[in-house]
Structure 1
Amino acid sequence: MTASVSASTGPTREQVAERLLKGSVKKSYEPVVDIDWDAPLDPDKFFLPPQTVTLYGTPQWDALSREQQIELSRQELVNILSAGIWFENILNQALLRDLMHRNPTASTTHYALTELGDETRHMIMFGKTIQRIGGTPVRPKLFQRIIINALPLVFRGPLLWGAALVGEELFDALQRQTLEDPELQPIVQRLMRIHVAEEARHIQFARDGLRKTVPVMPWYRKMLLANLHGVGGPFYRMLFTLPIQYSRVGLDGKQMRRVARSNPHFRDKCVSAFAPLAEFFEDVGLMGRLGRFMWRRAGFL
């Protein structure tokens, strides 16, 4: 009942889109020129804050030299940026397919196109960062790429907004917690500031889409959505602990994956990253029993 009242008394979807469009005009970035790509890298600074590296706080982490710790942070950043590129690819394809069925004169359509432009520039920013720090992208396997290309066929409406939130909010929460870390490479700090500023609007748009549609959604669709997003839990657990990021540092990839997944500090970071989204899902009635179980089993609750 509360959700229904708030959906009917708050700003309309068009009004929200208008406000976000104005915000995009006032504060948007062009990473190609807004990041100093020629600035030197500091050999003594991390590419991810140490406390966010998956092995941080373990005996295996303490056994590494500072140089090895920095290299592991570089490989984990490359892994995360690579995943970001593939996710933005999915989102952009889904947005374009969805826009085929929308009113081309509506503010919501115009903001969706603005978001698509933001995400395209983010893909460039991620790719150029990987190149600048001397990394090698982590590419999905063939069967994973086939799945990635198929997902936009089903991501529409509430499912699209739910997928967007699962794909964006965890990274956004982690970035907000760490972007001011003094041990972080300046180029990575700049990347995070740009990404946080623009993703904040994307998250608002997706959250508003769910707030507006959930109260009028048929019960079976609501139940599906409330549990389907739980797939994000095991997916992120797999993504954050890919063996390749450890083996590229000269470590045993499979063994370090086990260490990372049992690392209490890493689990705490996962829980704190998911907390804002978990609270939102609870608030709008989209935290189903199966969805909650999957997030909890993966270590995010």
Structure 2
Amino acid sequence: MHSHAAEMPVDLKQIDNDPNFSSRMDKLVQLSRDRHVNTFAQIEWPDTLSDTAWWLSPELLSVHGTEFADSLTEAQLKRLSKWECINAFSLNVEGERELLSALSAQLYAPDLPHIDTYIHHFIDEENKHLWFFAEFCRRYGGKLYSSKKVGVANEAFCREMAFFLLFARIYLFEELGGHYNVVAGGDERVEPFVRNIHQIHHADEARHITFGRAILAQAKEIAFSAADAAQREAAVAHLQRYLQISVEALYQPAMYRDSGIEGGVALRRALLAHPARREHHVFTLLKRPLKFMNDIGIRLEGSSL
């Protein structure tokens, strides 16, 4: 692939020089300072959590809306909710770890000085999330799951497109986790401490999603002007694949096994192909990010999810 479209050099400085974008960054920095929480000191960890409580809302379970859910008792569904919660939090650990590494590499880029301060806050908040999700999984699950997901190939994109794709992946990851936070964090059926973890996470993630939308709205045209036709097509395929593996990671065979449900691999395959689950992915789980990406001109196909 060519590194740039031949006819017009483009520059990420256009993002940083936009006064509306700079103003939004200043507001996000102020909100992060005003709402700073020392989660290392302020989370009080219970010795145990009840195995007979909901650890996730029933509507968030991977079997919801299918005949597989109908075949399980409420006690079995609650047990599954524990291990689906451990899986969701393990995915957060995996995602936050990758995100911290990628964000750190963006600091002090010569053409983007105005986003540095907010990225420091972003990294600080994600570092805390990484810690408390891992701590939760170890304390109450005795382990973290590994998704063993196949990574998205790192094609040789031009810098502008690589920048856009980085923040697009971060945004999609945040929106996916944000759906779990909003539903479980606002559900009084969910075990209170688990609900509290979702609420703490969402308080920061709402700002991160605002940041993601702002930077993607700025960076999309710059990236797609800098790239040639092959790169533009590859970029959309890259994000499509990222969404697909992110959704598939929610169907972890080990969580079925740990819940006492046999045939986890076959169950995963059946659920991923189930019309009710595919509808859930497009119209509930990913409704907001798919709409936003479409609004900025990136059409991601729900049919493959």
Range of TM-score over shorter length: 0.7 to 0.9
SS in 2 for 1:94: helix
Q: Is 2:190 the counterpart of 1:177?
A: no
How do residues 1-301 of structure 1 correspond to structure 2 at under 5 angstroms? Answer: 11-38=19-46, 40-102=48-110, 106-141=113-148, 156-217=162-223, 218=225, 220=228, 222-250=232-260, 251-271=262-282, 272-287=284-299, 291-292=300-301, 295-298=302-305
Question: Residue 170 of structure 1 contacts residue 273 of structure 1 at CA under 8 Å; is this kept in 2?
Answer: yes
Q: How many residues align?
A: 282
Tell me the CA shift for residue 46 of structure 1.
Answer: 0.8
- The answer (yes or no) to whether the contact 1:225–1:286 under 8 Å persists in 2 is no
Q: Which moved more, 1:208-217 or 1:163-172?
A: 208-217
The alignment yields a C-alpha RMSD, in angstroms, of 2.9
Contact 2:175/2:209 (8 A) holds in 1 = yes
Give the distance between the partners of 2:278 and 2:99, measured in 1 at CA: 27
Alpha-carbon displacement from aligned partner over 1:82-134 (angstroms, at most 9, x marks no partner)? 11111111111111112142479x44101101101111100011011112323
Moved more, 275-284 or 8-17: 8-17
Measured in 2, the distance between the counterparts of 1:149 and 1:95 equals 18
Q: Deviations over 1:170-205 (max 9, x none)?
A: 221232233211210111111111111101111111
What is the distance in 1 between the residues matched to 2:276 and 2:41? 37
**Structure 2: which 5+ runs fail to align?**
1-14
**C-alpha contact 2:90 2:145 (8 A) present in aligned 1:** yes
**Corresponding residue of 1:4:** none
Q: Which runs of 5+ in 1 are unaligned?
A: 1-6
Contact 2:248 2:272 (C-alpha < 8 Å) held by counterparts: no
Structure 2 CA distance for aligned equivalents of residues 174 and 112 of structure 1? 24
8 Å contact from structure 2 (residues 86, 144) kept in 1: yes
What percent identity do the matched residue pairs reach?
Answer: 22
The Cα of 1:49 is off from its aligned counterpart by 0.5
Which residue identity is paired with 1:225? A
* Distance in 1 (alpha carbons) for counterparts of 2:153 and 2:100: 11
Q: Supply the AA of the counterpart residue of 2:39.
A: P
What displacement does 1:70 show? 1.4
TM-score, length-scaled by structure 2: 0.82
Judging changes above 3 Å, is the alpha-carbon distance between structure 1 residues 260 and 126 closer, same or farther for their aligned structure 2 residues?
A: same
Q: Who is 1:3 aligned against?
A: none
State the shift of 1:222 in Å. 4.6
Counterpart CA distance in 1 for 2:287 and 2:220 is 20
Distance change (3 Å), C-alpha of 1:149 and 1:109: farther
Look up the equivalent residue of 2:120 and give its one-letter code. L
TM-score relative to the length of structure 1: 0.83
Q: C-alpha offsets along residues 150-173 of structure 1, whole Å, 9 cap, x if unaligned?
A: 89x989521211111121112212
Q: Which deviates further from its counterpart, 21-30 or 254-263?
A: 254-263
Q: 1:86 to 1:46 in 2, by over 3 A?
A: same
In structure 2, relative to structure 1, the CA distance for the partners of 1:10 and 1:107 (3 Å cut) is: closer
Structure 2: how far apart are the matches of 1:149 and 1:102?
A: 27
What letter corresponds to residue 77 of structure 1 in structure 2? C
Indicate conservation of the 8 Å contact 1:130/1:136, yes or no. yes
